Amino acid sequence: MKALRSPDGTPYAPATLAVTAGRPHGQNQPVNSPITLTSTFHHAGTAQPGDSVYARFSNPSWDPLEATLAALEGAELPGLVYGSGMAAIAAALSLVPDGGTVIAPRACYNTTLTLMQQQEAKGRVRLVLLDVSDSDAVLAALAASPAPALFWLESPTNPLLEVADVPALLTAARAAGVTTVVDNTFATPLGMNPLALGADVVVHSMTKFLAGHSDVIMGGIVTDSPELRATLHGYRTVHGAISGGLDSYLALRGVRTLALRFERGCANAAVLAERLAADPRACNVRYPGLETDPGHARAAQHMRAFGAVLAFEPARAGQPSVERAEQVSASVALWTPATSLGGVESILERRRRHANEPLAVPEALVRLSVGIEDVEDLWRDLDRALGS
């Protein structure tokens, strides 16, 4: 594709792809793809592959975003966009045959876990939850008989920031014939490309870093398997979890600045993690970029950036304190106390305030999504909110 490499054939770097992929490049073309507001298309006769028939089946408003998502994840096939990250996750989970076993992190995104547990309660799937940073446990589960159907991986996990040995686990899963899905929301395609590390399917909550402005809810899937893509596309068509044209436009507009936003967010997060780690008012700081973090060495091996999310437990007399955590959320002025992450604005929350948060997440844990503000302003606000 013309937009993916320079005229001399050199592939563009990810920061360039974020800007140029999926963009019209011909003479007289607009610089941005238009939003197509239509529910249907002029179409008579039997549909041929590639025809536009009805806007739940295909929509030109999705095309540039799907091309860009694929380019960023290093896929040949176009991505698939959905009406939310959870819609993409539900589609990916549908790949498990009835009664199949799913291996998943014991503490991953809470609603992913809720969906899996609902399906387990109905007998739809069998669930094996484990600590994905414990490679021996994962390798044993992958080798179990009967063979698991799916290995669901989040790394770093939300919100514990545990780092799995992603390349080793994906390679082992492939050797065992287990389909793998990686939720790459935290790392973003700039931080990690799971397909290149051996994943079959990558899912994103595009609501977060990809769209980046807390103004849309969208999801995305990328796979290089024509069979899996056809199944996932079919699922989207019949379940109808599609996105509107305006949201797709906004998400793509967000992706165009991903490299700048993510770079600044990661740099800010690294500064805040160092300061919190040295502060007696904080304990159990979790950030893969900290040299003392248990996931640091692994992350340094397979990730290009450590991300813009960190977590810590506000402390009183050296002990984690839920009261202090609530106080931080109530006292911040610049930080937004809210759920969600990945926007230009910094957001924090105590995760266990949600009833469906996994119990493996400590009660006082506060997750920080670090935005692109001036880091000294962010620190001053946090410092004040932490109190004396």
Ligand X SMILES: *Cc1c(COP(=O)(O)O)cnc(C)c1O
Angle between helices 375-386 and 258-277 (to 10 degrees): 40
Exactly one of 109, 235, 249, 287 is catalytic; name it: 109
Buried/exposed code over 308-320 (b: 16+ C-beta within 10 A; e: otherwise):
bbbbbbbbeeeeb
- 336 class by beta-carbon count within 10 Å (0-12 exposed, 13-18 middle, 19+ buried): middle
Contact call for residues 36 and 60 (beta carbons, < 8 A): yes
Q: Does the active-site annotation cover 249? A: no
> Minimum distance from CB of 257 to ligand X (Å)?
19
Q: Please report, as ranges, the residues that interact with ligand X according to CB under 6 A.
A: 84-86, 109, 112, 154, 158, 183, 185-186, 205, 207-208, 217, 219
Give the residue with the Cβ less far from ligand X, 23 or 208. Answer: 208
Structure tokens at 313: 């437990």
Min CB(280)–ligand X separation in Å: 30
Comparison of 33 and 112: residue with beta carbon closer to ligand X: 112
Q: Which CB sits closer to ligand X, 85 or 362?
A: 85
Q: Whole-number minimum distance, CB 351 to ligand X, in Å?
A: 11
User: SS3 string of 4-20?
Assistant: HECCCCCECCHHHHHHH
Q: Which helix (H) or strand (E) holds 281?
A: none
CB of residue 207 to ligand X, shortest distance in Å: 4
**Is 109 annotated as catalytic?**
yes
Per annotation, catalytic residue among 23, 165, 183, 261: 183
> Which residues lie across from 283 on neighbouring strands?
313
**Beta pairing, strands 101-105 & 126-130:** parallel
**Residue with nearest beta carbon to ligand X:** 85
For the range 142-146, what are the long-range contacts, defined as Cβ-Cβ under 8 Å and sequence gap of 24 or more?
142/103, 142/169, 142/172, 142/173, 142/176, 142/178, 143/176, 144/101, 146/101
- Residue from 106, 124, 208, 286 carrying the catalytic annotation: 208
Q: Is 136 a catalytic residue?
A: no
The two structure tokens encoding residue 93: 């989970």
CB 370, min distance to ligand X, A: 14
Task: List active site positions.
Answer: 56, 109, 183, 208
